[in-house]
Structure 1
Amino acid sequence: MVTEPKSPLVLLSGLAADARIFTPQKVAFPQLNCPRWLVPERSESLNDYTRRLAATLDSEPCFIGGASFGGIVALHLAEHVDAKAVILIGSIISPSELPLYARCARPFRFLVPVIPIRLLQFLIRPLTIRIVRRHAPIVYGFASQFRDSDPVVFKWSLSRILDWSIAPNVSCPVFHLHGDRDWILPLRYTSADRIVAGGGHLLSLTHPDEVNSYIRQIVSQLTSPSAAADDSNEPGQDG
């Protein structure tokens, strides 16, 4: 039986998502912390935002990671906390890995403030009814999280994705898990350490066993007394 380490595990949800995306991981990892998104200050940079976020976390060494946009934030957060590793789940490691549609949208990022988020949240409500939950739980889950998301946080996050131009200098190892059927952040634009066959963008929900196993392997490896001496069985690579 595997004994979970005491080092905290911090996972950040993606754009228009919340801690519900990591429900299977909460069951597997009692030490998991999924912090709520802070309300960003006007035009706040990723670096300034993650500095504020770091101040809300315990100062002890931890494993941090995230899904999609949460992975990007985790990379920047690693500059402000004592991170043992960064774990990317369906995310990317640098702006050069953004898909073509995101790069093409950059000139139009000035339109983000006028996106009618409240109206879109109202229009998406039919996807949050019980019958959708029964027959299309992934669609229901995504719609429910978007419906409940903070428009201010959503617009800030989208703006930071579109103006992301410099990858942070991460001194700890970076591990990357990605699905081969991710249409939001397609695999062809990035280089993952481990690929989940049939996995889409919501790996933590659709393939929890693979995600949990990957996290457990990384955490166990880096908390083992022989971790520094044994690099041959790494599930990923240094960032």
Structure 2
Amino acid sequence: MGKIYCLSGIGADDRIFGKLSIPGYELVHLAWIKPERKETLPQYALRIAKLIDEENPIILGLSFGGMLCTEIAKALPVKKAFLISSAKTKLELPKLNRAVQALIRSQILPPFVFSIPNRYICKIFGAETADEIRLLNGIIRDADGAFVKWASRAIVEWHNEVVPPNIIHIHGTNDHVLPSAISKPDYWIDGGTHLMVYSCAGEVSTIIAGELSH
């Protein structure tokens, strides 16, 4: 059985991939490692890539994890790199106003602020059913606030313009976190939100399985 090495979104764990099913493949979740002080997103990507125990791997990243996959694929040979609800370059990231960017970069906000569930997050992520809301709130509640705080800054300071080969980008037409209007994916999931790896797992799984069968 083959392996697909998975990186989740900011602070999330393997629960977010709970409904994905790729015949013939085992999903291997790469747990977060503690970021070093002022570590950049590319630097962190190279460190977490050391957790992958095979050459030319298949990797999969959700949201922030997809950005890490992009950096891994730039530095190391990969068979396939699947990006779900993510961004390949800075051009696919929403533009934040200067005040928000400054607030994130300043690191003034205490870590616990980044692990408090609220209705706004559920709405923007597209969590609609009781199951989805329960999952998202649990992930946020269990997240390491310090990690989320670091990752938020790392994304703001990520300026990648290079799309490496073997990237397959899957995005939802109703994503409000990484807006569909500025995304240029290889595959669209009609009505898919930022949480579509869970809510539209069957469609996402079919696309991945199809790509791997080529």
TM-score bin, normalised by smaller chain: 0.7 to 0.9
1:138 aligns with 2:116: no
2-structure distance, mates of 1:138, 1:102: 30
SS at match of 1:78: helix
Report 1 or 2 for greater relative contact order, CA contacts < 8 Å, sequence distance ≥ 6: 2
Q: Could you list the runs of 4 or more consecutive aligned residues of structure 1 that deviate by over 4 angstroms after TM superposition?
A: 26-30
TM-score (norm 1): 0.77
1:185 is matched with which residue: 161, 166, 178? 178
1:211 aligns with 2:182: no
Q: Are the equivalent residues in 2 in contact too, given 1:103–1:162 (CA < 8 A)?
A: no
1:37 aligns with 2:25: no
Post-superposition CA distance 1:45-78 (Å, at most 9, x none): 1222112111121132211121111110111112
2-structure distance, mates of 1:156, 1:58: 26
What is the Cα deviation at residue 119 of structure 1?
Answer: 5.0
Q: Are the equivalent residues in 1 in contact too, given 2:35–2:44 (CA < 8 A)?
A: yes
| Counterpart residue identity of residue 23, structure 1 | G
The structure-2 alpha-carbon separation of the partners of 1:55 and 1:186, relative to structure 1 and needing over 3 Å to count, comes to: same
2-structure distance, mates of 1:107, 1:119: 16
| Counterpart residue identity of residue 72, structure 1 | M
1-structure distance, mates of 2:12, 2:108: 20
| Counterpart residue identity of residue 17, structure 1 | A
Post-superposition CA distance 1:175-226 (Å, at most 9, x none): 11111111111110111111111111011100011110011011111xxxxx
The structure-2 alpha-carbon separation of the partners of 1:55 and 1:42, relative to structure 1 and needing over 3 Å to count, comes to: same
User: What's 2:62 paired with?
Assistant: 67
Post-superposition CA distance 1:72-102 (Å, at most 9, x none): 0111112344311211111111001111337
Q: Give the unaligned 5+ runs of structure 1.
A: 1-5, 128-134, 222-239
SS at match of 2:198: helix
2-structure distance, mates of 1:153, 1:16: 7
2-structure distance, mates of 1:155, 1:167: 24
1-structure distance, mates of 2:116, 2:178: 26
Q: Are the equivalent residues in 2 in contact too, given 1:106–1:163 (CA < 8 A)?
A: no
TM-score (norm 2): 0.86
More displaced, 43-52 or 67-76? 43-52
User: What's 2:73 paired with?
Assistant: 78
2:108 is matched with which residue: 109, 114, 125? 114
SS at match of 1:79: helix
User: What's 1:236 paired with?
Assistant: none
What is the Cα deviation at residue 138 of structure 1?
Answer: 1.4
2:167 is matched with which residue: 162, 165, 174? 174
1:14 is matched with which residue: 9, 13, 22? 9
Aligned residues: 207
Post-superposition CA distance 1:117-165 (Å, at most 9, x none): 32564675xx9xxxxxxx6221221111111111221111101111111
Q: Are the equivalent residues in 2 in contact too, given 1:50–1:80 (CA < 8 A)?
A: no
User: What's 1:54 paired with?
Assistant: 49
The structure-2 alpha-carbon separation of the partners of 1:102 and 1:31, relative to structure 1 and needing over 3 Å to count, comes to: farther
SS at match of 1:114: coil
Q: Are the equivalent residues in 2 in contact too, given 1:13–1:67 (CA < 8 A)?
A: yes
User: What's 2:146 paired with?
Assistant: 152
Taking only aligned residues, the RMSD between alpha carbons, in angstroms, comes to 2.5
SS at match of 2:176: coil
Q: Are the equivalent residues in 2 in contact too, given 1:85–1:175 (CA < 8 A)?
A: yes
